[in-house]
């Protein structure tokens, strides 16, 4: 396989990464990441403490150059989830920015700092550009590149093993669909421990030889500033586009900046048609949607040269086979804009396995096709419309996938909770909002919503905290004793 990042190998002096006032060219990145790669080469696996900073990007690229599988870790992960991730993936080393205090389970591991002014190149020169040291040979296409943790309906998150082949295939399919070139300058503010922000948002520009400016934290003024000073593309989750749509009426500079962009891309959840239309009305530009999943990377997209159509996720990407199947498992032949089936996909973009979970890996496939759990219809011209998902116990909030069962288990451990159920409710900003339904142990002294949110946040990732808590005397159950979640409505 050719190198994952040809521009690094070629020592291009064009800009590559910018985080606030820190920036690196491809050549500088090659030097810094190459030096770090030399120090981690041979490790079985490394964890990266994935703050939204330049050091995270350098650490991930170093691991990929060294051929060492990398586990990005959400720095806002609570104790239980972090313990699971570290125990399950057993990294030999952790890469983090200098000075960052790590939780005990990671602090026990050997640590390398990723700071740009601290990483030294082969000649011991701190943080200076120079001729790139020769990079290690490219590992095999099937070698694992990243292990990204993703929530299921029940149980702890699963580690999705993504081979180098899948990363290259998905980024090259997006090059084709989006006419993505080295001239593109991407702006985004996505977290760097998921596929969207890390693989598309950082590795994507690096593979193209282009550049990315990361905002650190999402704010519409940062988007406006970057798009009016050379950035060409914006990636975001629907919550970010919703906040943009809300701000547009009172912010002509934002409208002008978006009008000038080459491509506005939304993904990770459905962008409501209302927000599509508001953005189009203020800017004359149409946001395009693409559809992906941690296990499959990207499956479909509205093409840059295709017709934008709100409410659709476009057509299958090059190399991706997509079928809809009915409840008997039979493939649906119709492209009629109304027959609903589960999306199944096949192609070079797919993951290899769930780490240490052969049972879950086997269950995820149907005769070589990956079952996404997403329900969709197809328009006569092949455009896919996602209409729902099979599992009611999966919540998408702010673009994060969250399993209800994991939160319920943590809530049940709170001494003030007798029974607990978690649901997702429609939310204008977040798509869905996490709601906890609680039967308190003592009716006259229920735990407060803040207390329960803090309890969940201490054990799981901070985005898994319930935003609303509702108190009941008993949960609705059927004759079998199973909680009837559909009866839980606000």
- Secondary structure letter of residue 486 according to DSSP: G
345 scored as a contact of ligand MCA (CB under 6 A): no
CA distances for 280 relative to 143, 226, 273, 475, angstroms: 42, 20, 10, 44
Choose the one of ligand MCA, ligand AMP, none that binds residue 119, judging by a C-beta under 5 to 8 angstroms depending on kind.
none
Do the beta carbons of residue 29 and residue 121 sit within 8 Å? no
**Which of ligand MCA, ligand AMP, none does residue 270 bind (CB under 5 to 8 Å by kind)?**
ligand AMP
Q: Count the residues of the shown chain that bind ligand MCA, applying the rule CB under 6 A.
A: 24
User: Residue 94: how many CA atoms within 13 Å on its side-chain side?
Assistant: 25
Nearer to ligand MCA, 93 or 146 (CB): 146
Closest distance to ligand MCA from the beta carbon of 329 (Å) = 25
Q: Which is nearer to ligand MCA, 133 or 375 (CB)?
A: 375
The residues that bridge with 469 in the sheet, in sequence order, are: 436
H/E stretch holding 371: strand 369-378
Q: How far is the CA of 33 from the CAs of 5, 9, 62, 100, 421, in angstroms?
A: 12, 11, 4, 19, 45
Residue 313, binding choice from ligand MCA, ligand AMP, none, Cβ under 5 to 8 Å by partner class = ligand AMP
- Interface pick for ligand MCA out of 239, 283, 409, 423 (rule CB under 6 A): 239
Among 20-28, 232-240, 336-344, 360-368, the segment contacting ligand MCA (CB under 6 A)? 232-240
The two three-digit tokens of residue 63, written as one number: 């691991």
Select the residue interacting with ligand AMP from 25, 294, 344, 409 (CB under 6 A): 294
| 29 is an interface residue for ligand AMP by CB under 6 A | no
Tokens of 349: 């973009």
Residue with tokens 């530009």: 285
Residues 210, 181: contact at Cβ < 8 Å?
yes
> Site for ligand AMP (CB under 6 A): which residue of 114, 372, 397, 423?
372
Give the start-end residues of each E strand in 97-198: 110-113, 144-150, 158-163, 185-188
Q: Is residue 294 involved in binding ligand MCA (CB under 6 A)? A: yes
Task: Decide which of ligand AMP, ligand MCA, none touches 453; Cβ closer than 5 to 8 Å per partner kind.
Answer: ligand MCA
Is 309 among the residues that bind ligand MCA (CB under 6 A)? Answer: no
Which residues have CB under 8 Å from 49's CB, separation 6+?
56, 73, 75, 94, 95, 96, 97, 100, 102, 106
Of the two residues 384 and 420, which places its CB atom closer to ligand AMP in the complex?
384
Applying CB under 6 A, the residues found at the interface with ligand AMP are 150, 195, 267-270, 289-294, 313, 372, 374, 386, 389, 396, 401
Applying CB under 6 A, the residues found at the interface with ligand MCA are 190-191, 194-197, 218, 237, 239-240, 267-268, 292-294, 398-400, 453, 462-463, 465-467
């Amino acid at each position: 396989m050719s190198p994952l990042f040809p521009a690094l190998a070629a020592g291009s002096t064009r800009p590559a990464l910018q985080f606030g006032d820190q920036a690196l060219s491809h050549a500088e990145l090659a030097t810094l990441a190459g030096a770090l790669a030399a120090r981690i080469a041979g490790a079985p696996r490394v964890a990266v403490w994935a703050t939204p900073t330049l050091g995270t990007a350098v650490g991930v690229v170093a691991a990929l150059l060294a051929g060492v599988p990398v586990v990005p870790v959400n720095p806002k992960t609570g104790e239980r989830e972090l313990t699971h991730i570290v125990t399950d993936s057993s990294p030999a080393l952790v890469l983090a920015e200098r000075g960052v205090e790590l939780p005990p389970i990671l602090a026990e591991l050997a640590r390398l700092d990723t700071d740009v002014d601290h990483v030294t190149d082969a000649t011991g020169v701190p943080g200076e550009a120079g001729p790139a040291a020769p990079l290690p040979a490219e590992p095999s296409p099937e070698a694992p590149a990243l292990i990204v943790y993703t929530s299921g309906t029940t149980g702890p998150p699963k580690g999705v093993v993504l081979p180098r082949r899948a990363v290259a295939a998905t980024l090259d399919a997006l090059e084709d669909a989006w006419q993505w070139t080295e001239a593109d300058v991407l702006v985004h503010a996505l977290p760097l421990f998921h596929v969207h922000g890390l693989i598309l948002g950082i590795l994507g520009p690096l593979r193209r030889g282009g550049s990315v400016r990361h905002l650190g934290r999402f704010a519409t003024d940062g988007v406006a500033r970057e798009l009016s000073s050379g950035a060409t593309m914006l990636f975001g989750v629907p919550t970010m586009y919703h906040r943009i749509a809300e701000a547009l009426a009172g912010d002509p500079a934002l409208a002008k900046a978006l009008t000038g962009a080459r491509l506005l891309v939304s993904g990770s959840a459905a962008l409501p048609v209302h927000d599509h239309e508001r953005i189009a009305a203020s800017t004359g530009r149409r946001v395009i949607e693409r559809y992906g999943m941690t296990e499959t990377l990207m499956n479909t997209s509205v093409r840059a040269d295709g017709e934008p159509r709100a409410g659709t996720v476009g057509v299958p990407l090059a190399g991706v086979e997509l079928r809809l199947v009915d409840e008997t498992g039979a493939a649906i032949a119709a492209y009629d804009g109304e027959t609903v089936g589960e999306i199944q996909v096949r192609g070079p973009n797919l993951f290899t396995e769930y780490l240490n979970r052969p049972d879950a890996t086997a269950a995820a496939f149907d005769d070589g096709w990956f079952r996404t759990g997403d329900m969709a219809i197809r328009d006569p011209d092949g455009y896919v419309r996602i209409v729902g998902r099979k599992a009611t116990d999966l919540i998408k909030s702010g673009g994060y996938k969250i399993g209800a069962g994991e939160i319920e288990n943590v809530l049940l451990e709170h001494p003030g909770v007798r029974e607990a159920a978690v649901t997702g409710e429609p939310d204008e900003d977040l798509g869905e909002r996490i709601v906890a339904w609680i039967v308190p142990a003592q009716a006259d002294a229920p735990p407060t919503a803040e207390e329960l949110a803090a309890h969940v946040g201490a054990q799981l990732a901070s985005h898994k905290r319930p935003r609303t808590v509702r108190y009941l005397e008993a949960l609705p159950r059927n004759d079998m004793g199973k909680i009837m979640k559909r009866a839980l409505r606000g």
